Copies of this chain bind each other. A is one copy, B any other.
Amino acid sequence: MAPDEAKSEPAAEPAAEPTAEISKKGAKKAEAKAKKEAEKARRKAEREAAEAAKNEDAAAQDAAKDDYGEVDDKLPPMTGEKINIRSLGKEHVGKVIVVRAWIQNARAQSANMTFIELREEGDWTIQALVVANKEQGTPSRPMVKWVVGIKPESFVVVEAKVQEPLEPVKSCRIADYELSIQKCYVIAAAPNVLGMTLAASNRAITNFSDEEPVKKDSEIPDASSTTTSAIPAATMLTHLDNIVIHKRAPVQQAIADIRAEMKELFRSYLRSHGFKEFEPPCLIGAASEGGANVFSLPYFDKQAFLAQSPQFYKQIEIAGGRKRVYSIGPVFRAENSNTPRHMTEFTGLDMEMEIQEDYSEVLLMLEGVLLHMFRGIKERCPREIEVVRSVYPFEELQLPEAGKEVRLSFAEGQKLLREEGPPEFRDVSDDEDMSTPQEKALGEIIRNKFHTDFYVLDQFPEGARPFYTKADKTTKTSRGFDFFLRGQEILSGGQRINNADELEQRIRHKGIDPRSPGIKEYVDVFRQAGVPPHGGGGIGLDRVVAWYLGLPSVHLVSYYPRTPKRLQP
């Protein structure tokens, strides 16, 4: 507000203009109030004008006044080379550069000097300082003072000279250079108080409850696990309520990078093996695959459902003449499970392929792509993995040597459990599906015996597989398999039935009516034309990334986790 304006309109409050509707008594009261407020406003305006005059005076004396401040849209001209912090090198020393970054923190050393930490994408941090320069007049002492007041997580542009610090700056990722700031503009200011500090957001989360948080023992920071143990850990709910700061945490940036690269590794491997991408629909006309846990919604004059998997559509692609297909997309489960393993929306990595001779072709292709992902991610994201490990310590994943992959039949797995597992699994049967504790116990045994955290369990009992799984007459089992990572299932796959009559028989055998909505249309696909033998598998991306990194919850690897209680942000 300019001083002049403040003086000419001292009482702009609505109460100063009482209307006819107000009763006499009310009007008198209002008038008195208006007078009082007008007087108050006048005094305030005078104070402000005086303050402004003083500031103007100070600004006039501040030779640096154009070199700092908040800017709205257009920046004052800057001459330095625009550069990302990460690309700083010896060749920049002594040169002036322009950097756009977040203020991570600011600390006054004296009236003449302020230290700040600047951060770009991920955890690219660098130390910068503003030192008052009496001769040149800029940076000025007011500028030094102003900079220290910039709120953390404000976005700034600085022009600065690159210099080498006396000794490496251990607290920053860029340790060998520092910036001597000459100009500093706030482009987007952070609030006075953050909902969560960046330091807190980079601490390990231990409370993943969707209920309002209750302080538990497990939430008390574990001093041994990180270097920033003085900062208390926040709950997942606090993180989600402060999604911006949550995402800025280096650990979340690293997880997001790892997730994106895992996807890319899946995609590029399959592409290089002749797979073509396709997009299955999310909206479907019938609750297929059993119908439990499916979201339904009004769809004009009909009912629609959200797809639980692209299973049927992958198979239609094969029937429709595609030899090998993959899809990456959202799938939905209306399951009221409030655990760190569950979400209502997650990302499926799916593939399906023609079988030439034997369904082991499918198994080996899936094993190949997962090993490619696990080995590739170590090459592509070594630093990101270390950033995650520094917050969520985990044991290095053990992978089998090439040629020594572990592939057991379900019966062999059960035998191991009976013979080498804990006493409660002494009587597990070859005909019944495994429970989660059994899976974990078997994972332990296999890790000790074969030194791998990744293995395949094949030939599941027919009863444990969906109706579309092909049975094997020789082994009297299904041609279905699961893959495990750290003792937890990450993939389910197998050969599918490719003949309508056989499929219908199998559906009936499972107690489902083959003429029911969704099922009928599915079976009929195999009546439209001859469909070659085929098989495939589905991978839960969220779980693969979470278990690979040994994280306590899949909610940490989802960009926007959806749970029965949470749809925000």
Contacts and interface: CB of A to CB of B under 8 A. Distances in A.
A476 to B, nearest CB: 14
Contacts of A372: none
Contacts of A153: 529-530
B248 A529 contact: yes
Contacts of A276: 256-257, 260
A206 interface: no
Given A281-B560, A321-B253, A336-B300, A155 B188 contact: no
A44 interface: no
Interface stretch (A23-31, A51-59, A311-319): A311-319
A247 B321 contact: yes
Nearest to A122: B321
A436 interface: no
Contacts of A344: 283, 299
A285 B567 contact: yes
From A195, A246, A521, A559, name the one whose CB has the most chain B CB atoms within 10 angstroms: A559
A320 B244 contact: yes
Interface stretch (A322-330, A424-432, A461-469): A322-330
B521 A313 contact: no
Contact of A567 (B195, B264, B302): B302
A342 interface: no
A102 interface: yes
A516 interface: no
From A100, A195, A283, A332, name the one whose CB has the most chain B CB atoms within 10 angstroms: A283
A453 interface: no
Nearest to A196: B528
A276 B122 CA distance: 12
A66 interface: no
B354 A528 contact: no
A263 interface: yes
A334 B189 CA distance: 38
A121 interface: yes
Interface in A179-215: 186-191, 194-195
Counting chain A residues whose Cβ lies within 8 A of the other chain, the interface size class is 35 or more
A282 B243 contact: no
A282 B528 contact: no
A357 interface: yes
A302 B210 CA distance: 15
Contacts of A102: 321, 529-530
Contact of A243 (B244, B295, B320, B356): B320
A436 to B, nearest CB: 23
Contacts of A300: 334, 336, 564-565
Interface string A545-569: 0000000000000011010110111
A155 B533 CA distance: 9
Contacts of A277: 260, 263-264
Contact of A296 (B155, B284, B297, B560): B297
Closest 10 CB pairs between A and B? A247-B320, A285-B567, A188-B530, A297-B297, A153-B529, A244-B528, A155-B530, A154-B530, A248-B321, A281-B560
24 contacts: A102-B530, A154-B529, A190-B528, A190-B529, A242-B528, A243-B525, A243-B528, A244-B529, A246-B320, A247-B319, A260-B276, A264-B277, A281-B559, A283-B332, A296-B297, A296-B298, A299-B567, A300-B564, A302-B567, A304-B567, A317-B559, A329-B329, A330-B330, A521-B569
Given A247-B320, A253-B322, A304-B567, 11 more contacts: A102-B530, A121-B321, A121-B323, A155-B531, A187-B530, A188-B531, A278-B559, A281-B562, A282-B345, A295-B304, A525-B569
